[in-house]
Structure 1
């Protein structure tokens, strides 16, 4: 069809040249034709020009791959254009005047709307890789990972190169929990792992892993950025998708409905999820002085219950081809309830008294959340020239408590303790980004960003001293603290492509003003300041380079400087009881971590397959560690105190290797491996925190096509031993499998998942200090069986570009 269009376009142009022969040429008319639905450039569009006075054809052209056309050598006159393309409505532009005062007319961006015709469905199926590589990021196509469909973003990341996940859903990126989480480009107010645990996998379009972000991005996060891109659709009319899941320990549902009418798109989405995990744990702690070792051990059952729901709605309005406005509102609630029934035993090595008792422990962490997003985009006439402005708000109500009741062996309550913490948190962010192409291959980006964060935390302690069930407030642990942080940033990046060599350089300057104010404390002799102010001016440079080698090979190198700012509870200058044996305090004078990150990567593509080899070296200054020690020297009670300190530096030198290929046409396999050396060098309070460990892991996944509508998938993961400054985590391995079946002409799909097939996804760790040692083991009851159903109506598909624009890369699919 495209060849026919080309031929017709050439014939039209030839006829126009004949009719214009002998007339004096004068002016030009140019413009860019795009699709109304997504502003994608349209190629092979016929542009015919007519004289208004007699409707005579003057000439015509077809658009280039970038949608641009130009009509040249036009005599002075008044014209109109007919712009037509198969599948789109013909558009006429009237009253175009060429004269001595107006020789060159630029019509800017011209939108064509789709023609509403009913045709038989055409199915295009092609391979699309689970991971796609770009200059500065990896893109994870969530739809290809259906062993994780019933879970959250955490479950998807379990199978991603460079990412590790433990049994409790805590995520690490290249061995570090210090990374930023963005949701559609907007920072989350929750801690990284907690934010990822709240997002159902079925609502995610893809995930971007950015390990060395440019100066355009916020520099927060030791290891980089994980950006969650949620599903969207831009088709005319009403359409949507519904997911329903149910399993041995979980239930959930979500939907997304879209309605587009002319230039306005409305959407609404909601999700609800419940997960209930049970298991058992045991542990032993020793505290000791020169002569005596005191031991406490525990053994029993545990249970963790997650509930979450979210409602989101909004609209997008295209005022014209150059201006778009978007507003979104969201409200949700999250909750994590934990329960444990443990038996404790206390004894020492010198024949002291032996104690045995029971402990009922329960806790909660959660609260409501509110989000507001507004975006405005102005596109200039020249391609890629844009101005983006946004204002976003993220707020949450935090409510947290932990309660433990000690009982004798017969179950009679002896005493109880309940710690509470609550308070609101809000963060406003404004952004102004300007992008200007300087030449065909070079681009300049400038921008300003600001962040205003405010929070108030109220903490307290309730005690039941005789087991009666009457709890009274302990005023010594009643505290109120206010936290504020203002950040203002300017950035500039410049990128260029010279033959096979591409580069981008950037610089970001930030002013940061952080205030921690202790409003009220019940402590009789506080050892901390009422107010701590930290003002800093920092520079964050970045550089990215790439070089294209023969045979679809590419080398990529990058450097960036980053920062890890501590969460507000790290800075709270008072004690908070976590349970009967653990107490925590913050450090208002804590300094942020500064990170220098280097990467050198190699990528080889062959068809829809690839091989990648990524090396990285990361140095963290002002390394923050949660230091552990015996609380107030009271060894008999086995209480451990935890607090954050800047202890020194850490170093990570690692390699990520991935290969993805087809063994045969119906059998696809991918293997990823990570090997890195982690070293901590630090000292605090006369203690040496030097540690070093060679750590490695690998992931093996395979997908087997069982006909055109069915697939089987398995994912195997292994994590080796890994260390912290005071501890070590033992190796973990696990296997997940799933079967997917498409039905009703792909409108309905069903997935059966079995997670942790061999029940091996356990957690075991040991921590040591100068006067203590503890060891813990935790196991969740698995495997977990889940059924997930997805129904798409009115031809719902995630947004895709069509025409000759920046659409699919080689190997992508349209399902």
Structure 2
């Protein structure tokens, strides 16, 4: 880690001194303008603008901002050659003269022609890169991830910098499972990983990863935000897209999206069905100590993880006039997940005195979800916007668990059934307003204010049934069952200001939230009542260093509020050997997140280096203890603090139109310090993850993609997870240009995806291993009808409106 720190310091010092040297001599001339697409007038972000002398020797240069604008200052009088270029567009060259009488040159709109690729008489436009790097986020263009298109959002994210995924599909963002998931800029009601597992990759246009959001966003989620933007189009008439896939081990899916636009009206509908089964093997070694007796157990056998879900959506949009529009959409989704395991179960307390059983586990989770959204947008003029949104979300969730133990002669020895219900009703209202405002002699200033009201009403509980060996049936056990009602309301208000002073940009903001929580426990007097007010300040700054460099820094404060079940003060039993209980005294986690970033982009090469430091206060951990015998008891506690210091280098290389290589790494030091059972703990590790994605164009219409994924070991408060390495591959073959595509996806080619974790304490030791059947092979077809194309790059006003949709 010291070596990494020194490299980063040397790099930043080099940038500083280069900048200082460039600033010694100043002149007064400048050239400005805006680069756009010639056919649509859309601004082109990060286009290269190079200034040459008469001998075509480069003098300086810059890159356009998100609105296509550029400025080259401090120029002497004379003749200059200026060159504009961007991947997929023809290069444009112009000549300009700066004189004493005319020192300021505004070229206005510089229009670049899109570069065509001719394929058997059909014109195909250039494709987007798999990953794009914006100033404040990473953007994953899902269509270009051929090795993941037949899976879910989780399969796409597995190849992305900052992200790691375990065998159960649980996602970690920079080592943390605590992040916020938005779907089309709207918060999901499900747990983050569960929401991502249910979104088919074929229905996604792009995924945005925002690790340090501003005060405009909901502060929930310590590690940041993953925003899923689904496919949509603005073409007139009827058009659509359909996908079908089939793979080994009962994996199949299908979906379609139909769009109709006529003048001011747009109507769209979609349907998807997904069935993915992942069989594998699992084993567990457990050792517990109770009353001077050591209990041992070992399980080994087969398992499977089935995810089955389908959904229907319908929506419409009406353009009232050029400045106002409104929309309404609804979605109905049925989700179902099923996990099974059949293992040999060995138990003993003295060596040589072993009892062997068959143990079967079945967990089913699912329910119906309903979502209704209404939106209104008003675009007064440039940077002067108003938007309002009203959302209703209903989720009728249920989880059923069955654990049975049989002798080798198949006689039932023990059985346990658990039914958990937790329907949730959520109401959300957002009002956002922005307008131009200039302070401190700044340029392009913008003031944003808004509020968000969230009301959550739910109830849930657990019913327990035990197997009676006498009557040979299950009996309801009210002493283990419970019921509770929940209210969780949040009232938030934010204020942000964005400004620029020459090459220096800044954004500062403050968000305040009042939280009211009430949990009523049926049959007890121990209700939970929480009222608190919290402030979340943010600060983002950036500096452009001509011609190609940019340095960014930010600080934000975010929160992780405990879930309802984390606060319940009674026991939940899913099997005879595992008991968990909530903690009504649990405090929210707060994180102070600091980031520093550097970007450089020039002629086919992009280099990015991010440094980050997170301090988590009131660290929440699941703590395991021995309950009795070989039964484990788990609860949640605030144990202390969590520290993460890391660096994230990314290199994207386009050697030619036939080869693109993306290399990324996440190197970080993780430390947990605090107290468990009045004993001081301190866990520290240095670990890393690596990603390599190679896209090769074999010929026109044929591309292959090979990616390697390595996740290093990670620590927990009471244990660790082992490292693993996976290689994935994909092929995309264009069968009919712009109409029909074939994709082949092969995941975990070498079967190296073995997942291991260990947890231990003063009176227990648990080691678990899990592998999936590999390789995973899926064949897919993609069909576009009536020339369906994803929504093109948005105009400047549309981009601003979409920003207003964000939280």
Report the TM range for the smaller structure's normalisation.
0.7 to 0.9
Match of residue 32 from structure 2 = none
**Superposition deviation, residue 304 in structure 1:** 1.5
> Residue 565 of structure 1 aligns with which residue?
561
Distance apart, 1:579 and its partner CA: 2.0
1:756 aligns with 2:755: no
C-alpha contact (below 8 Å) 2:664/2:691 kept by paired residues: yes
Q: Is the 8 A contact 2:124 2:738 kept in 1?
A: no
Equivalent residue runs for 1:520-531 within 5 Å: 520=523, 530-531=526-527
State the alpha-carbon separation in 2 of the partners of residues 441 and 374 from structure 1.
31
Counterpart of 1:374 in structure 2 is 374
Shift of 1:751: 0.3
- Partner deviation per Cα, 1:729-758 (whole Å, 9 max, x = no partner): 111100110110112222111101111101
Q: How does 1:675-690 map to 2 (within 5 A)?
A: 675-690=667-682
Matched with 2:4 is: none
Question: C-alpha distance in 1, partners of 2:526/2:376?
Answer: 42
TM-score (norm. length: structure 2): 0.82
CA distance in 1, matches of 2:383, 2:786: 32
* Structure 2 counterpart of 1:476, from 476, 479, 498: 479
Contact 2:416–2:574 (CA<8 Å) still a contact in 1? no
Cα distance change on mapping 1:346 and 1:739 into 2, 3 Å? same
Change (3 A) 1:726 1:333: same
Shift of the 700–649 alpha-carbon distance from structure 1 to 2, 3 Å rule, reads same
Q: Which runs of 5+ in 2 are unaligned?
A: 1-35, 45-65, 69-119, 801-807
Q: CA deviation at 1:128?
A: 2.6
User: Secondary structure, in 3 states, of the residue corresponding to 2:566?
Assistant: helix
Cα–Cα, structure 1 residues 598 and 302, in superposed 2: closer, same or farther, change >3 Å? Answer: same
Q: Say yes or no: does 1:513 pair with 2:516.
A: yes
Matches within 5 A, 1:245-644: 245-249=245-249, 250-289=251-290, 291-349=292-350, 353-380=353-380, 382-438=381-437, 441-466=444-469, 469-520=472-523, 530-631=526-627, 634-635=628-629, 638-644=630-636
Query: 2: CA distance between counterparts of 1:793 and 1:778?
Result: 42
Q: Distance in 1 between matches of 2:149 and 2:747?
A: 11
Deviation of 1:583 (Å): 1.2
User: What is the CA–CA distance in structure 1 between the aligned matches of 2:137 and 2:794, rounded to whole Å?
Assistant: 23
* CA-CA distance at 1:410 after TM superposition: 1.5
Looking at structure 2, the residues matched to 137 and 151 of structure 1 have their Cα atoms a distance apart, in angstroms, of: 23
Per the alignment, in what secondary structure is the counterpart of residue 147 of structure 1? coil
Whether the 8 Å contact between 1:362 and 1:403 is mirrored in structure 2 is yes
Tell me the secondary structure at the aligned position of residue 146 of structure 1: coil
1:143 maps to which residue?
A: 143
**Counterpart-to-counterpart distance in 2, 1:704 and 1:542:** 41
In the TM superposition, what is the alpha-carbon distance from 1:127 to its structure 2 partner? 5.1
Moved more, 191-200 or 585-594: 585-594
2:174 is the alignment partner of 1:178: no
Partner Cα separation in structure 1 for residue 748 and residue 658 of structure 2 = 25
Distance 1:641 1:290, change over 3 A: closer
Query: Where does residue 106 of structure 2 map in the other structure?
Result: none
Q: Give secondary structure in 2 for the equivalent of 1:548.
A: strand
In structure 2, relative to structure 1, the CA distance for the partners of 1:568 and 1:246 (3 Å cut) is same
1:242 aligns with 2:242: yes
Measure the CA separation in 1 of the matches of 2:413 and 2:710.
44
Aligned match of 1:715:
707
The equivalent of 1:734 in structure 2 is: 726
Residues in 2 aligned to 1:438 and 1:576: alpha-carbon distance in whole angstroms: 54
Residue 788 (1) aligns with residue 791 (2): no
With structure 1 as the length reference, what TM-score do the two structures score? 0.82
Q: Is the 8 Å Cα contact of residues 290 and 626 (structure 2) preserved in structure 1?
A: no
- 1:680 and 1:608 map into 2 onto residues whose CA distance is 41
- Counterparts in 2 of 1:694-713, with a 5 A limit? 694-713=686-705
CA distance in 2, matches of 1:66, 1:143: 24
Residue 193 of structure 1, CA deviation: 0.4
CA distance in 2, matches of 1:714, 1:205: 21
Please give the per-residue CA displacement for 1:237-278, whole angstroms capped at 9, x wherever unaligned: 000000111111310001110001110100001110001111
Relative distance call for 1:484 and 1:66 in structure 2 (3 A) is closer
- 1:221 equivalenced with 2:221 (yes/no): yes
The offset of 1:557, in angstroms, is: 0.5
CA shift, 1:314, in A, is 0.7
Residue 651 to residue 468, structure 1, CA distance change in 2 (3 Å)? same
Deviations 1:106-159 (A, max 9, x none): xxxxxxxxxxxxxx9973533532222223211111111111101100011001
Shift of 1:589: 2.2
Q: 1:264 touches 1:316 (CA, 8 Å); kept in 2?
A: yes
Give the direction of change, closer, same or farther, for the CA distance of 1:803–1:123 in structure 2 (3 Å limit): farther
Matched residues in 1 for 2:754 and 2:179: separation? 24
